[in-house]
Amino acid sequence: MKNILIQLDTDSRPSTFDRVVAIDAGVDELFSYGGITRENLVPLVHGAMFTRGPSDLKQTALFIGGSDVTAAEAVLAEVQRTFFGPMRVSVLMDANGCNTTAAAAVLAAGRHLNLSETEALVAGGTGPVGRRVVQLLAMQGTTVRVGSREADRAQAVCESVAAATGEGRLISCAAGSTDECRDACQGVDLIVAAGAAGVELIPADIRSAVKSLRVAIDLNAVPPTGLAGIEPTDNAVERDSAICYGAIGIGGVKMKIHKAAVASLFDANDRVLDAADVYRLGLSLTTR
């Protein structure tokens, strides 16, 4: 019996990136659907649930993607509501690469830092990838500053992550002006830039002046980069006494995690892989 992955994409056209990764992960058959919403997905999920017997359901799985992470989160919630009893299949949510990218960034930081003794700034920490970086760092015991141009949004992320993880070492900070950005960076060991594509979050002179900085990670590959002076291809490159990673440098690990996550869906019929689960999977890959 073949392993079938059903791609549910919230965009009108299913992502070719996610389709290629699925094939490279060893999927036998890939069914791709675009324009997925909470309102139209149930028949597709029923098709996955009811076409094979319970003992064979692990050979069918769902991948939820798309460029709108909020929409994909709503789809994931509706998928889980549709399952009942043993009638379910495994699911991976990685819209816009949010979970695999965040996991790869935190794993990279953990190569050089004891995260439980680290103070970090996540610039752009209110975006879909940034929120997950904040969550994963908080789960490792990191003291996290959530930087945003809008202080109230940063505070909302702190409260949400604290409620979800039980971790309380979360600090919201405004980072809109030059002075605010400089203040947010002071004394941190780690900076992760996870803002929108093509937006510079931290100028090179501010980054290079942070004497405590040991690791800097920029997750934006579209010029200009989020952390000025870091190249997208940087992969543990030393700049201004800090180990630096660019988006492409992080991308190799992200791709390994993405492929392994897809392959792991077919080990059981009841897996739901979101940020924390994807991170644990990535950690198992790096410790083998």
The answer to whether 99 touches 274, Cβ cutoff 8 Å, is: yes
pTM of the model as a whole? 0.94
- Per cent of the chain over pLDDT 90 is 87
The answer to whether 259 touches 266, Cβ cutoff 8 Å, is: no
Instruction: Report the C-alpha gap between 1 and 132 in whole angstroms.
Output: 36
Q: Look at residue 167 in the predicted model and tell me its pLDDT.
A: 75
Instruction: Report the C-alpha gap between 179 and 284 in whole angstroms.
Output: 40
Answer whether residue 46 shows pLDDT above 90: yes
Q: Look at residue 122 in the predicted model and tell me its pLDDT.
A: 97
Q: Record the tokens describing residue 58, joined without a space.
A: 């692990």
Residue 207: CB atoms within 10 Å: 24
Angle, in degrees to the nearest 10, between helices 128-139 and 98-112: 40
Scored b (16 or more CB within 10 A) or e, 76-97 reads bebbeebbeeeebbbbbbbbbb
Report phi then psi at 117, rounded to 5: -120, 20
The answer to whether 77 touches 48, Cβ cutoff 8 Å, is: no
Q: Look at residue 287 in the predicted model and tell me its pLDDT.
A: 63
What tens digit of pLDDT does each residue of 253-268 get? 999 999 999 999 999 9
Average pLDDT over residues 177-186: 90
H-run or E-run covering 243: strand 242-245
Answer whether residue 159 shows pLDDT above 80: yes
Q: Record the tokens describing residue 265, joined without a space.
A: 């869906």
> Average pLDDT of the chain?
94
The domains located in the chain, with CATH, are 4-93 (3.40.50.10280), 98-250 (3.40.50.720)
Answer whether residue 288 shows pLDDT above 70: no
Question: pLDDT tier at 279 (50, 70, 90 boundaries)?
Answer: very high
Average pLDDT over residues 187-210: 93
User: Nearest CA to 134 among 166, 100, 157?
Assistant: 157
Instruction: Report the C-alpha gap between 272 and 284 in whole angstroms.
Output: 17
At 48, which amino acid appears? A
User: Nearest CA to 36 among 62, 15, 64, 60?
Assistant: 64
Bin 215: left if φ > 0, else alpha if -120 < ψ < 50, else beta.
beta
Answer whether residue 133 shows pLDDT above 90: yes
Average pLDDT over residues 130-159: 93
Helix, strand, coil proportions of the chain in percent (round to 5)?
45, 20, 35
